[in-house]
A and B are shown apart, each in its own frame.
Chain A
Amino acid sequence: MNIEDDRFAHEDTANDRWIGALIHVQRHDTPERVDQLVDRAVVRLRSESATETVHTAGSIGISGTSVAPHRRRWDWRTPVAAAASIAIIAGSALLFSPQPASADSILHAAQVAESGSGDRRYALELVFPTRAGEADAQAPRAVGTLDIRDAEHVRLDIRFQDGRTMTRGTDGATGWTVDPRGDVLSMPTDARWPRFIETPEGDLLADRLDVLLADIGAHYQIVRCDKGGAMQICATHDDSDFRGPESIELTIDPATKLVTRAALNFGGPPEGAPRRAVRAGDAVATTGSGRPDAMTTRVARDDRPEGGPGGPEGGRGPEGGPGSEGGRGPEGGRGPERGPEGRRGQAGGPGPDGGRGADRRPEPRVVIIERSAVPNGAFDAAWFSPPSAPVRKAPPPPPPSGPGGPGGPSGPGGRGPGGGPPPPPPRGDR
């Protein structure tokens, strides 16, 4: 083969590959897919810029010169030069977009930014409804942290006003919780989390903030509501078929587009005030004691797809302590263990505590999730694993009219053993 033959062979091969590539792009690389690829890259470059560290992507040759892999500090001149390089482009772009960023575009950017992963810590603040005659400032509160590496490595620590704590975690292999007696209990790794840290679809909220943001875009009316120079979006629920907080206030980092704070308002009037009518299919879960648990009292979600054939945990989880467990927990809340109707405890069911239905404390009416620093930048590998020994003694029983307690961290069964037989629950709307 002479040189000319080679050239033709190369051209033929290139032609063949080019057509093949075009067919592939036409069939697979839709504009939406391209946008996703670009979005992912932008999240990465924003993340790199945020940490002010640049990692070169292997041995990369640029303009004919190959550079060895190295790590270097982000030179301050680089972003300045970068900004200068595209300043003209940006200026031109602004001609076409004179208006400030819309809430929609910010929400979309935040959704992209939140699609990343990595160790994260969120500070939690839970505000429970006040009782009749109580001022807002007197509302019972709880604080805690939610530590997340990914969907399989999660740890939740909450301390209630009355001193009780709730600790739960999963390391992917073992789900665990610490009960009021300080005993470490195992639980399914896919056990449901308290609703206030879940998206309506059942994803862990802080792990899937992008899902929450997508929900906000789909089911809420959103407006910019910047305060004190902070970029904020206020979302108001406008879809009666969608279960979620009534309103949400997001604070977004203008540089990274990450959500730094989310205040979820589940509504709910103060205790004693007229309550919103319960929708058909709603069932309020309570503790086995008949006292709805502050952490886990919730509307039954009986039609979850995971709801399988009835099992022994359908009405009562093995960890269901006497009257201390939440209305919905891992065993009772999902999975094949669920009863056919996904039975959970019923409101006011008589329990060993004498059925303190009147003392029930609904779930938090406000949940504030705030991104905070991870100690030393990353969690220790064992942080998400169960402690080998009890971490604390069982707290004293909650006062009859005190703030809603943790309700048993495990919150597994629909009711503790003291709970009376559950009447057939209506189907939930989830």
Chain B
Amino acid sequence: MSEIPPNLRLTTDSGRGPDAADVFAILVREHGERLLAFLRASVPSSSVDDIFQDTVLVAWRRLPDYDRTRPFGAWMRGIARNLVLDHRSKMGRERPTDDAILDAIVRRAEAEDRGDREEFRAKLVRLEDCVARLPDEYRTVIHLSYRLDAPIARIAAEVGANVEAVKKRLQRARAMVATCMESKGATT
């Protein structure tokens, strides 16, 4: 199956070959970053790891239901999407606020299924290059927000702007990165 990169080292037991969990783990690793990207776009950061774990566990339990004609990543993401909806209902529709937004995020994630993990990583490198090319005022807020996980209020204090201005600046910075990515031929 093309799902398994030949360079992956397998964990096996007793020389009998990889057990089910070993192979399952390999597949999850292959799609891990893309699944995390989908979750980060869909739920608050504080919930991402938990939902990631739950997605893996539910996928394991539902493995007999997996249709091998479908991409494994898309199947996992389907499970994750349901968990995101479940999470949203628990959190009082915290975010995303609309199913249509979630569907739009899913479409962006689906676009990543065309490549493999390495291609996705290469795309992230291009994205980092785009961030590096941002004007200082935008690069700074991106750095504070995503590298240091600083809350908006702290960023505002740091850059001497109000909270709304920082939110807007972050939004503009992301839009500029998106434009840069498109110019590099990487669809977002």
Does A219 interact with chain B (Cβ within 8 Å)? no
- Considering the complex, which residues of chain B in the window 50-98 have a beta carbon less than 8 Å from any beta carbon of chain A? 52-54, 56-58, 60-66, 68, 78-79, 82-83, 85-86, 90, 96, 98
Residues in A with CB closer than 8 Å to B11 are: 101, 105-106, 108-109
State whether B104 touches A13 (Cβ < 8 A): yes
- Asked if B4 contacts A93 (CB within 8 A), the reply is yes
CB proximity to A under 8 Å, residues B94-152: 96, 98, 100-101, 104-105, 107-109, 121, 123-125, 127-128, 131, 142, 146-147
User: Which of B23, B56, B60, B147 contacts A89, CB < 8 Å?
Assistant: B23
Residue A29 lies at the interface, judged by CB distance under 8 Å to chain B: yes
Which one, A16, A44, A83, A108, contacts B20 given CB within 8 A? A83
CB <8 Å contact, A25 and B37: yes
Measured in the bound complex, the distance between the Cα atoms of B82 and A62 in whole Å is 6
CA distance A179 to B100 in the complex (A): 69
Asked, given contacts A17-B42, A35-B29, A86-B20, whether A41 binds B57 with beta carbons under 8 Å apart, the answer is yes
Q: For the complex, is A374 an interface residue (Cβ under 8 Å from B)?
A: no
Which residues of B have CB within 8 Å of A42? 21, 24-25, 28, 56
Contact with A along B160-185 (1 / 0, CB 8 A): 00000000001100110110010000
How far, in Å, is B28 (CB) from chain A's closest CB? 5
Within the assembled complex, what's the spacing in Å between the Cα atoms of A381 and B147?
42
A394 within 8 A of B: no
Q: Residue on A with the closest CB to B56?
A: A41
CA distance A92 to B90 in the complex (A): 41
The answer to whether A78 and B61 touch across the interface, beta carbons within 8 angstroms, is yes
| A132 and B175 alpha carbons, distance in the complex (Å) | 80
A92: which of B1, B39, B107 is its contact (CB, 8 Å)? B1
Bound together, the chains give a CA A29 to CA B100 distance in angstroms of: 26
* Known A-B contacts A38-B32, A86-B63; A19 and B21 likewise in contact (beta carbons under 8 Å): no
Cα–Cα distance between A287 and B65 once the two chains are bound (Å) = 65
Query: For residues 147 through 193 of chain A, which have their beta carbon under 8 Å from a beta carbon of chain B?
Result: none
Asked if A277 is at the interface (CB within 8 A of a chain B CB), the reply is no
Instruction: Decide: A90 near B21, CB < 8 A? Known: A10-B100, A58-B86.
Output: no
User: Interface size of A by Cβ–Cβ distance < 8 Å?
Assistant: 75
CB-nearest residue of chain A to B3: A89
Main SS class of interface, A: helix
Let me know if A14 and B101 touch, CB within 8 A.
Answer: yes
Q: Contact flags (1/0) for A20-33 with B, using CB distance below 8 Å?
A: 11111111110100
Segment from A45-53, A300-308, A418-426 that makes contact with B? A45-53
Please determine whether A40 and B53 come into contact, CB atoms closer than 8 angstroms: yes
Residues of chain A lying within 8 A (CB to CB) of residue B62 = 62
Are B108 and A15 in contact, CB atoms less than 8 angstroms apart?
yes
A44 CA / B57 CA spacing, docked (Å): 8
Contact A101-B41, Cβ < 8 Å, known A31-B33, A62-B79: no
- With an 8 A cutoff between CB atoms, is B158 at the interface? no
Residues of A near B86 (CB, < 8 A) are 58-61, 66
Q: What residues of chain B lie closer than 8 Å to A109, measured between beta carbons? A: 11, 13, 22
CB distance from A153 to the nearest CB of B (A): 25
The contact of B14 among A35, A37, A254, by CB within 8 Å, is: A254
Q: How many whole Å from B68's CB to the nearest CB in chain A? A: 7
Contact between chains at B68 and A85 (CB < 8 Å): yes
Residues of A within 8 A of B (CB): 6-7, 10-11, 13-29, 31, 34-35, 37-42, 44-46, 48-49, 54, 56-64, 66, 77-79, 81-86, 88-90, 92-94, 96-97, 100-101, 105-106, 108-109, 226, 229, 231, 254-255, 257
Contacts from B to A (Cβ < 8 Å): 1, 3-4, 6, 8-29, 32-33, 36-42, 45, 49, 52-54, 56-58, 60-66, 68, 78-79, 82-83, 85-86, 90, 96, 98, 100-101, 104-105, 107-109, 121, 123-125, 127-128, 131, 142, 146-147, 170-171, 174-175, 177-178, 181, 188
Give 11 A-B pairs besides A37-B49, A62-B65, A101-B15 with Cβ atoms closer than 8 angstroms.
Answer: A7-B100, A14-B105, A19-B174, A24-B45, A25-B124, A35-B32, A41-B52, A45-B21, A93-B18, A94-B10, A109-B22
15 sampled A-B residue pairs with Cβ under 8 A? A7-B100, A14-B108, A19-B178, A19-B188, A21-B39, A23-B131, A25-B36, A37-B36, A37-B53, A93-B8, A93-B23, A101-B10, A101-B11, A101-B13, A101-B14
Enumerate the 4 nearest inter-chain pairs by beta-carbon distance, A residue then B residue, closest first. A100-B15, A14-B104, A81-B64, A101-B12
